[in-house]
A and B are shown apart, each in its own frame.
Chain A
């Protein structure tokens, strides 16, 4: 795979945004959110809008669609023209006509973008009902045709299916079919693959590319993932704090970034090359898991359904100061394993030895003694701290539970805040006053406040921007070095796994398919599924920090 290198200078300009300023509606006093954005996309070109959360990339796309939230955001100045026509001068009705016929959009979460109580075929047909005067049979033929074009299997059946009967990837294909059925000149894709598994992501990306080439659609692709950018972009526009930091052809941006921010962004992307192996300490393991499994018995007395094996046969040992990665896509059972080890759910088979004690089936009162040796950090930093509690209360909850005096606990909380580099006055503040990365650091501080031996990080960096992700990973590495904590790292992201894990377990549909030292599993995968996963990692041919192709490809 190579970076794209196509020349569009002769093609007509489809979208031309000039000096777009967007700010709060009804007032011109506040700082605008977008400070004069300019970008241009030509026919058949893919422009990737990259930036971290809050950089203004979604506001740009909503402004283009004329979908800025009414009464709160408004365009203050600038021009948005589509094939020469100024969109900002259009009225509500004209703009509605433009959407779907000339420009259309696909979103991150196809489940919420589709109507759950209407068959998907009818939902696509609705677009035709609104904008064309075709006969009933013609409409149906056209819908089936576009469904075939997005490579949906058995289109007759899917035509009658409801969104919940389809997989995430199929739903996103329906969204794409809906967006492209009237052959718009511009497609805006707002993080369309972020909610999907890597293997599905790969298919959707190649589908968008294929349809684009077929119809000559211009694509404005919004993403935070530089790997995806490397796969599909013709040109890139890097945004930060509502400004365009740098823009240019993909090759230039990835090879010779001019701005320090772009360089930092690229440097923060972990490579797919496994870390240099660390020597394994010669001491007894702190945790031994054997044949752990969790089976859910679905159905009721009258309606027997086959039991679901969410996870089975998980076996590993973990020593102090080591990191074990559990890698897999959604539904692979990796979180079930994590939660069974934590005893947040009760495993149905196997054993979990924590420093020699089997905690897999301990009743809760006895379990409490062992809880402090085993802590967890969750994925969503916005939900893992009680929003009504001050940081002090959150950080001291654990120590107070184990009989440490309040003064001592507060002193410890202060010390921990320093370790995770947050100011001391954070103690009296509430979670909503912190950014996602800061909250995740607070959550880590809370977890290590009990000085656990094992820390389970369940997708702990997945919700964070790359640069923040790097900081949090560094923090975990520091803590591990300082106190010799053992980490079980659950992730779907092979790059992250490669960067920090000593050993890796790859899971698929509740079963361990491959297990071993990270250097071996990730560099020389034996199981086909592992290979598929590695193949699907976007931008795997490119070394972002080294600004060059990886030799292997």
Chain B
């Protein structure tokens, strides 16, 4: 009897480790995890991995095809495409993660207040509605135009339109959670509003926030690329996937790889983040899990 229970005990311990849990979900998410991990490791190590200086122009080497020295060839200024793509990933990923972190953090705070305090709710939600009514690219372009192209303003530009989505989600979770008897019991036990908000209610938002966070990372990377492509992003001296593509666009007919390689990286990265996000959502949603099991 004792022996038969041991493996299930082990399994329940393993369940708390994230990786085996993801791996248990099937082949697609596992590949996505591996690809994403690879992209992250390469971009973090990019200063050491890059064979050339990504900013170094050399007019003699303009638009060279792939060779042993320039594995993916060079761009119109003779800069090494491979180096630019892996360094560019660093900025893109940083912007994605930073935008997700900031919008989730602010969104959760605003959402908690909106969900818990009846009076604040109406005011906050109308402001959020107004934000949502504006096209997010337009807000982003306006913000960047006002503050000048820098990583900070791009992150802000992406964050502002994402916040209302997070707020709505958090508010919905809080609206149901605050009706739970354990929240009322906490009030009866004399717990302060602060304690109820942050110790009883906040944990309820974690699962949906992890999932929403991954989607925001993906869409932020994409928005960054679009902003860069439109020339409203980070200054062109700092390579990002978006502005590499924007610059390569002019030479698309002569040398399509200038657009294809950063585009491929972008696609792979976003696809794997989305796949992982779906997988995390499925693991965290007990109803979906039941259906599988």
Binding site for B on A (CB under 8 A): 71-72, 342, 344, 368, 371-372, 374-376, 378-380, 383-388, 397-398, 401-402, 443, 446-447, 450
Contact = CB atoms under 8 A, between A and B. Distances in A.
B185 A384 contact: yes
B293 A72 contact: yes
A376 B190 contact: no
Contacts of A386: 182, 186, 200
B197 to A, nearest CB: 13
Contacts of A446: 185, 189
B191 A383 contact: no
B200 A376 contact: no
Most buried by A among B180, B181, B184, B293: B181
Interface in B189-206: 189-192, 195, 200, 203
**Is chain B's binding surface mostly helix, strand, loop or mixed?**
helix
Contacts of B146: none
Interface of B: 180-182, 184-192, 195, 200, 203, 293
A72 B205 CA distance: 30
B190 A402 contact: yes
B190 A401 contact: yes
A4 B13 CA distance: 55
B189 A401 contact: yes
A388 B181 contact: no
Contacts of A383: 180-182
A338 to B, nearest CB: 11
B97 to A, nearest CB: 26
A385 B182 contact: yes
Contacts of A398: 189-190
Contacts of B186: 386, 397
A342 B188 contact: yes
Nearest to B179: A383
Contacts of A371: 188-190
A490 to B, nearest CB: 13
A51 B192 CA distance: 43
A443 B189 contact: no
11 contacts: A344-B184, A371-B190, A375-B188, A380-B181, A388-B203, A397-B191, A398-B189, A401-B189, A401-B191, A401-B192, A450-B189
Given A376-B184, A376-B188, A401-B189, 8 more contacts: A342-B188, A371-B190, A372-B190, A386-B200, A388-B203, A398-B190, A401-B190, A447-B188
Contacts of A376: 184-185, 188
Contacts of B182: 383-387
Nearest to A383: B181
Contacts of B191: 397, 401
Nearest to A379: B181
B190 A378 contact: no
Contacts of A375: 188-189
Contacts of B195: 401
B188 A344 contact: yes
A376 B186 CA distance: 10
Contacts of A372: 190
Contacts of B293: 71-72
A371 B184 CA distance: 12
A344 B180 contact: no
A211 to B, nearest CB: 36
Contacts of B192: 401
A23 to B, nearest CB: 15
A70 to B, nearest CB: 10
Most buried by B among A379, A397, A402, A443: A397
A446 B191 CA distance: 13
B288 to A, nearest CB: 14
A435 B74 CA distance: 68
Nearest to A380: B181
Contacts of A380: 181
A447 B184 CA distance: 12
A388 B191 CA distance: 17
Given A398-B190, A401-B191, A378 B185 contact: yes
A374 B188 contact: yes
Contacts of A402: 190
Contacts of B189: 371, 375, 397-398, 401, 446, 450
A402 B190 CA distance: 8
A398 B181 CA distance: 15
A385 B182 CA distance: 5
Nearest to A458: B181
